[in-house]
Structure 1
């Protein structure tokens, strides 16, 4: 996915995830933070990772599967196996 280095939307999502992960680390150090606060932050990260995954899936499909004028059955099968493994 060499084309992703130009995708600012994906890079921004990753930067937000980094910030959220840092916030969890800080919350774990802060004795004033409750377990619920930390769990809410983790849930937010889970949602953000799912959003990132969806963005990457869409980018991959558009760039490598749909846009190819030639039939790319091997690429499609590899991608389907990946989805089955992590979905």
Structure 2
């Protein structure tokens, strides 16, 4: 069982909150609220996505880099993390 499966309910709850925030931005744009308010809402979504990303990255590091007992699995976990970080930094 992977760490995302164990934390599934918590992660899905966070995604649903982010989804609600995005729907709020959509409503704000439809209602033509001020750009400052839309920007505040966008900043909140960005923070929420960054927090979720950091949590999944941390869990990956703990499960697939720090915890494996064999070097091959540890190496693969590290390589996967490098790929994710490169994609995230683009």
Q: TM > 0.5 between the two?
A: yes
Query: Following TM superposition, by how much is the alpha carbon of 1:76 offset from its aligned partner in structure 2, in angstroms?
Result: 0.8
The two structures have a TM-score, normalised by structure 2, of: 0.82
Aligned length: 86
Runs of 4+ in 1 over 2 A off after TM superposition: none
RMSD value, Cα: 1.7
- Paired position in structure 2 for 1:36: 36
Superposition pairs of residues 53-64 of structure 1, within 5 angstroms: 53-64=53-64
- Paired position in structure 1 for 2:69: 69
Return closer, same or farther for 1:67/1:83 CA change in 2, 3 Å cut-off.
same
**CA contact 1:28–1:38 (8 Å) conserved in 2:** yes
Identify unmatched segments of 5+ residues in structure 2.
Answer: none
